[in-house]
Copies of this chain bind each other. A is one copy, B any other.
Amino acid sequence: MPEPATPTTRLRLDLSYDGTAFHGWADQPGQRTVQGELERALTQITRVPVRVTVAGRTDAGVHARGQVCHLDLPDAVLATIPGRSDRAPAEALVTRLEGVLPDDLVVHLAREVSDEFDARFGALWRRYRYRISDGPTAHDPLRRDVLRHRRPLDVAAMARASAPLLGEHDFLSFCRPRVGATTVRELRELTWERPGEGRADEGLVVATVVADAFCHHMVRSLVGALLGVGEGRRPESWPAEVLAARTRESATRDSAGAAPLCPPQGLTLEHVAYPPDEELAARAHLARARRGPVRSSTS
């Protein structure tokens, strides 16, 4: 790979968004997208074209709390971001973004990372949560990340039906496959609970879904299948049967309510994990950033 003409610094951004009014993550002409709004804000601040690479390309209406992306900025550009003299340029960028981004998109943290850091391909695992209120008692109109579901759910049945799905499998039955892309994934956690008093998400039905990576529509197809069990429309063995069939057909052919894609508004990308090495490298860079004004991370 040829050396870039100008020395650049790689930045990692940690961000959250309310997906309600976004047409998903990925930039699309004529649509309001998270990537589009973020790149527009970054370009407005830096006055150079900016492209970001993201950990999880969320669909329309899906939210994120722990989304991660990276971008490369020429060092000379990074130095022009004004901030207090005791702060690194990346920290100043967070403050500037706060004033430019719309209210439904927040960049919590920006830090310099090694050029080896890759938000998409460097991720170890992703954690999503799906939140449901299954009755008027638990429904909180002040939250934007909860599916309102009219029928009561059997959380214990959903938990039992989820267990056989854990591990490495071909999740073709739960994915919208892309040509040439594998649908083999390692599902590390798929748990259901109803948190008690004083806890976050009190009274809601909450699914936690962790995998090394997800294929397209996988979380929403899994949750959709398990909602059938929770409502009592499907036997507990059914999601495992859908998995074993290894075909999209098995999940969609039955018009009586087979594994529907559940609505996006209950789904939130909560956390993306990276190897500790990268964390250490990032911390080292940040520590150096606090000592000097600007430097290239290619050193």
Contacts of A292 in B (CB 8 A): none
Q: How far is the CA of A145 from the CA of B109 in the complex (A)?
A: 22
Residue of B18, B139, B148, B199 touching A142 (CB-CB under 8 A): B18
- Residue count of chain A within 8 Å CB distance of chain B: 32
Which residue of B has the minimal Cβ distance to A17? B141
> Are the CB atoms of A137 and B108 closer together than 8 Å?
yes
Q: List 16 A-B contacts (CB under 8 A).
A: A16-B139, A16-B140, A16-B141, A63-B142, A94-B136, A95-B136, A106-B136, A106-B140, A106-B141, A108-B137, A108-B139, A142-B144, A142-B145, A144-B144, A198-B199, A198-B200
> Are the CB atoms of B104 and A141 closer together than 8 Å?
yes
> Are the CB atoms of A140 and B198 closer together than 8 Å?
no
So how many copies of this chain end up in the complex? 2
- Determine if A107 is an interface residue (Cβ-Cβ < 8 Å): yes
- Determine if A150 is an interface residue (Cβ-Cβ < 8 Å): yes
Contacts of A107 in B (CB 8 A): 136
Contacts of A105 in B (CB 8 A): 141
Residue from the set A97, A143, A268 with the largest chain B CB neighbour count within 10 Å: A143
- Taking CB atoms and an 8 Å cut-off, the chain A residues in 97-123 that contact chain B are 97-98, 103-109
Residues in chain A within 8 A of chain B (CB atoms): 16-18, 63, 65, 94-95, 97-98, 103-109, 136-137, 139-145, 148, 150, 198-200, 202, 268
Which residue of B has the minimal Cβ distance to A110? B136
Q: A18-B142, A143-B142, A199-B198 are in contact. Are A137 and B109 (CB under 8 A)?
A: yes
> Are the CB atoms of A103 and B141 closer together than 8 Å?
yes
Contacts of A136 in B (CB 8 A): 94-95, 97-98, 106-109
Residue of B65, B106, B108, B143 touching A144 (CB-CB under 8 A): B143
> How near does chain B come to A64, taking the closest CB pair, in angstroms?
9
Contacts of A98 in B (CB 8 A): 136, 150
Q: How far is the CA of A109 from the CA of B136 in the complex (A)?
A: 8
> How near does chain B come to A196, taking the closest CB pair, in angstroms?
11
Residue from the set A95, A98, A108, A142 with the largest chain B CB neighbour count within 10 Å: A142
